[in-house]
Amino acid sequence: MYDIIIVGAGVTGCFIARELARYKLNVLVLEKNNDVGNETTSANSAIIHSGYDPLPGTLKAKLNVEGNKMYDQVCEELDVSFKRIGSITVALDDKQVETLKELQIRAKENGVETILLTREELLEKEPMLSKDVVAGLLAPTAGIIDPFNLSVHLMENAIDNGVKLILDEEVTSIVKKEGNFLINDKYEAKVVINATGVNGDLVNELINDKTFDIMPRKGQYYVFDHFKRPFVNHTLFMVPSDKGKGVLISPTTSGNYLVGPSANLVARDEKSTDKGTLNNVKEQANNMIENIPYYETIRTFAGIRATPSTHDFIIEESETENFINVVGIESPGLASSPAIAKKVVEEIIAKKFDLVKKDDFNPYVRKYIKMKSLSIEERQRYFKENKDYGTIVCKCEQVSKGEIIDCLKRSCPPRSIKGLKRRLRVGFGKCQGGMCQPLALEILAEYYGVDRKEIPYDGTKSYILYKETKGGK
């Protein structure tokens, strides 16, 4: 019997798990994939929004602003890359300038600092912008983050503090029996938290009548390689429309760049990219910057966002007592997640349990060794202690075998090539794993003591190797 079961290990579920780990509670997280953060969390714009855009008075506005302020401490504790580079919303004509002024009024209502930039001030900050720009709205508190490692490190820290995680466990049945919940006929809990993202309405309907819908909205992106010549310094937005914030151009914490996303309603599991949509993304982005280096593209990808029919986050106890929905967490969900977790625990869970804080809760993860960022002297010291730190597996991103082994020994390790890629950027460079994937596969198979054919690319059935051919080994 668990006190609480969290269904879904995206960034919201991971934040809630870590927040609950502060207390003397028996907590289980169930995740349908073979890794945490494997859906929307790993396929988004990687931006911590300032909070000027959501409608004042909504949960989106309140929790975005609160969550944004929490990220410096969260990322310091969890050893996650985070930079407050600021965002600029770019106006291309006088009508859009009026929209910027309206957004500035909204920002003031939400308690967010913004600065209206003239054309000259804008071009001074972003020289690569089109000469057609008229003005811009700067939000200095916006930032960029590594969302992959955010979710992983959150769960690692939660597990280190007593939370249990079970992967490859899709929730298909929930029944209430004698006041408690029975999930998949084998996991029992007093309280269930539904944090299942794009499937939030379907999981809710396993135990409740239909009260809301989640509409899957797909966004397609370009990813550029990291390069040293000048490009963009801030996250650049177009003036938003009723479809969302529109196409953006942004640096990432790894030195790459993102261009996108599109916004189209699709089936829940439709994650393909297509030339027509990506060309439309190009056309929109080209309005902001004329000479975008698309020849630096190393991959394209698509992510699904959970757009709720309520037009706001759904964070509430359902009609079934002790079944709590935390769904419809679309943009600015990433920025809002730490505040969402505190709201769930302090305003809902605190009414269900007598919350007693653990004396030994440790908010920090063990620091990750990043050889690429170390001095020559520091690298030599690690190599002398362990020769694996001198064996480079991924040449594009300069990741050593020692870093991979260290990652595998942690409490939330990768179980696939893609899981390793997200954590350490092995295969994230220009060759996209063309050179290092066989080496990474060998290391994973050796560590877990399995045949190489058992190591998947992503999900458990996404096989890389099928059988030996021509007598090969």
Catalytically annotated residue among 49, 153, 234, 311: 49
- Extract the tokens encoding 83: 């930079």
- Check the CA dihedral 195-198-203-204 and report its sign: positive
Q: Residue 357: how many CB atoms within 10 A of its CB? A: 8
Whole-number Å distance between alpha carbons of 168 and 322: 24
123 contact partners, CB below 8 Å, separation of at least 6 = 129, 131, 133
Whole-number Å distance between alpha carbons of 390 and 28: 38
- DSSP code string of 288-344: T-SS--GGGEEEEEEEEEEEETTSS-EEEE-SSTTEEEEE---TTHHHHHHHHHHHI
For 385, counting Cβ atoms within 10 Å of its Cβ (0-12 exposed, 13-18 middle, 19+ buried), the class is exposed
Best CA proximity match to 2, nearest among 158, 165, 151, 157: 165
Whole-number Å distance between alpha carbons of 42 and 27: 24
362: Cα within 13 Å, side-chain hemisphere: 10
Active site includes 49? yes
310: Cα within 13 Å, side-chain hemisphere: 19
Q: Compute CA distances 325 → 14, 22, 311, 404, whole Å.
A: 15, 21, 15, 36
For strands 264-265 and 235-238, give the pairing.
unpaired
Asked if 401 contacts 446 with a C-beta cutoff of 8 angstroms, the reply is: no
Q: What is the DSSP letter of 447?
A: H
120 contact partners, CB below 8 Å, separation of at least 6 = none
Whole-number Å distance between alpha carbons of 307 and 305: 6
For strands 164-166 and 27-30, give the pairing.
parallel
Q: What is the DSSP letter of 203?
A: H
128: Cα within 13 Å, side-chain hemisphere: 17
Best CA proximity match to 236, nearest among 113, 106, 127, 107: 127
251 contact partners, CB below 8 Å, separation of at least 6 = 85, 144, 231, 232, 233, 235, 257
Q: Which residues have a catalytic role annotated?
A: 49
